[in-house]
Structure formats: structure tokens, C-alpha cells
């Protein structure tokens, strides 16, 4: 994928920052546009791919703040799901409740970054000494972290999970994970593949309250097929007697996970010394409306769960790039029309910073192609005026040189890649990721 993108530079240490799929058009000569893409995640690469495929003279430079490419394709998805590594944004939404900063409370984004080797999260050291963990959220990321916490070590050892994370999970005391949602079974955000994988996870059994699913069979008759199939699987697991093989597996399971509905977080409860989380207090809710538009309304009742590990998985959000770039802090996106940044000719965006933190890899691919098409149309119509006064990468290279910054090139990345694969082979894994940028730079002689 990288070799198709012309000259590629993973920039480390300068003022340029990564924001998935953000691009500005630069030019050096008529009909030969130079395009700068900031961010080497899937949105950035797919945008580059479409531009290069449909404009034979285009030159694309990709800039990345880390010494390694691919963004949350590399860092954002569970290591046992290499086939769906896909999407990301730079920050996470917070719970906004008292006690959120206590030890034992982490964002799912940081936890995922920890076991995937994201440099900024390599020193997270999550406390896994509690038997019960709570994940606030019921999306695929929530299922990912629950599955990693509960998976047999033999499964995790065959993935590219980091060595330090694997060692910590090997000593983990976590035996039970609750996935908590504000709304009900018809509003869960995970997909059927991930749910089926959790139900079939070796050594674990699901905890599904039959009362949550009674009567749903009639309610879902007219809902879209993916939601219907997903709900049917939950109903079957909660209400139907399991087969002999499944019943035997569940009976011998030493770990368990469950779905808890209609609960909204109110407060993280501290230990006696006020330093550590010991549980979470939640408002019991009821639903107003139905389907995707249903709202969770507090009933006045509260419920408490004892737990020493709390992971917040209620969504990701993008961050503003620079004061000169329009940004909607409420929606967490750059205001745009089909990828064209409002009020900034020549500036485009794609991925989650364009549409918000929704979708998976195919969504990002199509979204990025649409942005690239907007660039191509603006080139063809003459809306984008190409100019000899802008030197593209040549100018950026001079700025980096003047600041003493030595960019990591794509060939440098290939050396890092080869070293990670070689280390992984020794451990029987697809790769052993380097997690310290300094070690990466030393490896390539920077």
C-alpha cells in the first residue's frame, strides 16, 4: 500500500501533527498536483490510493507523527482480529462523573493502545488485580477489550499483542466482565460476528438475564436484517436451553461475561483511602421511544457494581489540528461538504474527522474515495489553481532540515517492520511490536 503512494515520509518531532485523513493540496506545475496528506491511517492511505489511480501525474506525500505508519490499523483493533484492523481518532469521550480519575479507571482507547503497542500508552500499567471488570459501553471496542481480558493465553500468544501486555494479562485476576449500556438490547452497537465470538470464547460463559430478552422475538419482526439477526442470537443465548456440548463448556468455564442494560454511570466509588476504584454507582434508566432513537431516562433508582477495573468505551473523538483549520468541537469534526473544508479552498478531510467516529474499514474506504473524488473534480474544474510557487515536499524537507529533524522514510519503516517480524517469529507470533519510538529510531540509525 505504501509503495503506491510515491514519496512517503513519516515525520517525527516537527510541528506537523497527525489527524486521520486531513489533506491540503500543494502544487508545483500545471497538471502535476502535489498533494500532502497528514495522517497515515486507513483514511489517508485510501485517499492517496484513489488520487493516484485516477490522476496519473499526481504526487502524494504522507506525513505521520510516529515512526511507523497505518494509524489505528496497527494500534486500534484487538490483536486477535488482524483481518478487521480498521479505524480511529485521536481522543476518547469521557464519562464526566466523579471518581473518573481514580486508579483502576481507564479509557478503552488507552487500554487498546496499551495491548497494541501504541507508544503513548506503553506505560499504562492497568490494575488487573480485581476479579470483576466493568466496561461502560456496548460496541465492538467494548467486546474487544472484554475478549482480550478473558481470552485463554494460548490464543493471545499467537497474536501480535505486546510482550508486556501478555505478561500482565497472564497474571490478571479478572474472571468476570460486565458490559454496561444506557439503553436496551435493541440499541447495542456491537455486531453479530463479535457477539458470536464472545459467546463461543473458550473457558467463558455468557451471563444474559432472560428478563431482558423476553418478548423481543415479536418486536424485531420488522427491523433491518442485521439488527434482527443480532437480537435473535442474544435471545437464543438467553432464553433457549443450550446444546449438550455448549452446556458442558459453560458448566466448566472459569470466567464469565455479561450484558447489563438500562444503566447510566453516576459515580466511581473509591476505596477507603480514596485512591482506588472499588465499584461504580449507576442510575437505572427506562427507555422513551423505540429503535435507534430511543432515549434513556433515569428512573430515580440506582444500582452499584463492585469492581476494581473500569474501562470507558463510550466513543472516540477527533481533535482540532490547528487554530487556522475550522473545527466543530461539539461534533468533533471539521465542517465540510463532501470532504471540502468549509471556508478553506484547497483543504480537504476524510475519515472520522470528516464524518464522526462511526463505521468500519469499508465505511472509511468509501468515505476516503469520496473525498479524493472531490479533489479530482476541483482539479478538473479549475477550482484549484495550481501554482509554481509552492514546492511541496521540497519545501517541507528544507524546514525539517533547518530544525534538525530527520524524517523516517518508508524504507526506514521497512527496516522496523522486518525487525518486528523477526522478533515475533522467535516467539511464535506474527510480530513483536516495538513500543518505544527511541528504540525504533536507534534501529534505523537516527
- Whether residue 230 contacts residue 224, with contact meaning beta carbons closer than 8 Å, is answered with no
Q: What is the spatial distance between Cα 214 and Cα 402, in angstroms, rounded to a whole number? A: 68
Domain identity same for 292 and 227: yes
pLDDT at residue number 330: 83
pLDDT at residue number 77: 59
User: Three-class SS of residue 315?
Assistant: coil
Domain identity same for 197 and 128: yes
Domain identity same for 175 and 298: yes
Note down pLDDT in tens along the chain; length 446 residues: 333 333 344 443 333 333 344 555 554 444 578 899 988 888 898 999 999 999 988 889 898 888 888 876 676 556 665 544 463 344 456 677 899 999 999 999 899 999 999 998 999 999 999 999 999 999 988 999 999 999 999 999 999 899 999 999 999 999 999 999 999 999 999 999 999 999 999 999 999 999 999 988 888 888 899 999 999 999 999 999 989 999 999 999 999 999 999 999 999 999 999 999 999 999 999 999 888 888 999 999 999 999 999 999 876 667 777 888 898 888 888 999 999 999 898 999 998 889 887 767 778 889 999 999 999 999 989 888 777 667 778 888 889 889 988 889 889 999 999 999 999 899 888 888 888 989 999 999 88
Domain identity same for 287 and 190: yes
Which residues sit opposite 209 in a β-bridge?
none
Among the listed residues 48, 19, 107, 167, the one whose alpha carbon sits nearest the alpha carbon of residue 410: 48
Domain identity same for 250 and 196: yes
Domain identity same for 200 and 253: yes
Domain identity same for 28 and 128: no
- In the chain, the number of structural domains is 2
Cell numbers 486531513: residue? 22
Q: What domain range is 284 assigned to?
A: 94-314
- Whether residue 67 contacts residue 442, with contact meaning beta carbons closer than 8 Å, is answered with no
Q: What is the CATH number of the domain that holds 162?
A: 3.50.50.60
Cell numbers 460463559: residue? 205
CB within 8 Å of 289: residues ≥ 6 apart: 295
Residue 34 φ then ψ, to 5°: -105, 130
Domain identity same for 250 and 155: yes
Displacement of CA 379 from its chain's centroid (Å): 33
Q: What is the spatial distance between Cα 278 and Cα 270, in angstroms, rounded to a whole number? A: 5
Domain identity same for 296 and 377: no
Q: Judging by DSSP bridges, how do beta strands 336-337 and 340-341 pair with one another?
A: antiparallel
Domain identity same for 26 and 103: no
Q: What is the CATH number of the domain that holds 336?
A: 3.40.50.720
**Within-domain flag for 431:** no
Residue 236 φ then ψ, to 5°: -60, -45
pLDDT at residue number 351: 86
CB within 8 Å of 48: residues ≥ 6 apart: 4, 5, 35, 37, 60, 62, 372
Per the confidence metrics, is the pTM higher than 0.95? no
**Within-domain flag for 89:** no
pLDDT at residue number 324: 85
**Within-domain flag for 8:** yes
pLDDT at residue number 78: 61
- Whether residue 44 contacts residue 404, with contact meaning beta carbons closer than 8 Å, is answered with no
Amino acid at each position: 500500500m505504501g509503495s503506491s503512494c510515491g514519496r512517503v515520509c513519516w515525520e517525527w518531532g516537527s510541528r506537523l501533527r497527525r489527524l486521520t485523513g486531513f489533506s491540503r493540496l500543494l502544487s508545483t506545475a500545471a497538471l502535476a498536483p502535489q498533494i500532502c496528506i497528514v495522517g497515515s491511517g486507513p483514511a489517508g492511505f485510501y485517499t492517496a490510493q484513489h488520487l493516484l489511480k485516477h490522476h496519473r501525474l499526481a504526487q502524494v506525500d504522507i506525513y505521520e507523527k510516529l515512526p511507523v505508519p497505518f494509524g489505528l490499523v496497527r494500534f486500534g483493533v484487538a490483536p486477535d482480529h488482524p483481518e478487521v484492523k480498521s479505524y480511529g481518532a485521536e481522543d476518547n469521550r469521557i464519562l464526566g462523573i466523579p471518581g473518573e480519575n481514580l486508579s483502576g479507571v481507564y479509557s478503552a482507547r488507552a487500554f487498546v493502545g496499551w495491548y497494541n503497542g501504541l507508544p503513548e500508552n506503553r506505560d499504562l500499567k492497568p490494575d488487573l488485580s480485581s476479579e470483576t471488570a466493568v466496561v461502560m459501553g456496548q460496541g465492538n471496542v467494548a467486546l474487544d477489550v472484554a475478549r482480550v481480558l478473558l481470552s485463554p493465553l494460548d490464543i493471545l500468544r499467537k497474536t501480535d499483542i505486546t510482550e508486556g501486555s501478555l505478561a500482565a494479562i497472564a497474571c490478571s485476576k479478572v474472571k468476570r466482565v460486565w458490559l454496561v449500556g444506557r439503553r436496551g438490547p435493541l440499541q447495542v452497537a456491537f455486531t453479530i460476528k463479535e457477539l458470536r465470538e464472545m459467546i463461543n470464547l473458550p473457558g467463558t460463559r455468557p451471563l444474559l438475564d432472560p428478563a431482558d430478552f423476553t418478548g423481543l422475538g415479536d418486536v424485531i419482526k420488522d427491523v433491518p436484517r442485521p439488527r434482527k439477526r443480532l437480537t435473535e442470537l442474544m435471545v437464543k443465548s438467553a432464553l433457549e436451553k443450550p446444546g449438550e456440548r455448549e452446556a458442558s463448556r459453560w458448566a466448566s468455564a472459569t470466567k464469565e461475561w455479561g450484558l447489563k442494560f438500562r444503566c447510566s454511570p453516576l459515580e466511581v466509588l473509591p476505596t477507603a483511602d480514596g485512591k482506588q476504584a472499588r465499584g461504580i454507582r449507576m442510575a437505572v434508566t427506562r427507555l422513551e421511544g423505540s429503535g435507534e432513537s430511543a432515549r434513556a431516562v433515569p428512573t430515580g433508582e440506582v444500582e452499584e457494581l463492585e469492581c476494581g477495573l473500569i474501562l470507558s468505551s463510550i466513543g472516540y473523538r477527533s481533535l482540532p489540528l490547528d487554530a487556522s483549520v475550522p473545527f466543530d468541537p461539539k461534533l468533533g469534526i471539521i465542517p465540510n461538504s463532501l470532504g471540502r473544508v468549509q471556508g478553506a479552498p484547497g483543504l480537504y478531510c476524510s475519515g472520522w474527522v470528516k464524518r464522526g467516529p462511526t463505521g468500519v474499514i469499508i465505511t472509511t474506504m468509501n468515505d476516503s474515495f469520496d473525498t479524493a473524488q472531490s479533489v479530482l473534480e476541483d482539479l478538473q474544474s479549475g477550482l484549484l489553481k495550481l501554482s509554481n510557487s509552492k514546492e511541496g515536499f521540497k519545501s517541507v524537507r528544507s524546514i525539517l532540515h533547518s530544525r534538525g529533524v530527520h524524517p523516517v522514510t518508508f524504507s526506514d519503516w521497512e527496516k522496523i517492520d522486518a525487525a518486528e517480524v523477526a522478533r515475533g517469529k522467535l516467539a511464535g507470533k506474527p510480530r513483536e511490536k516495538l513500543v518505544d519510538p527511541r528504540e525504533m529510531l536507534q534501529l534505523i540509525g537516527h
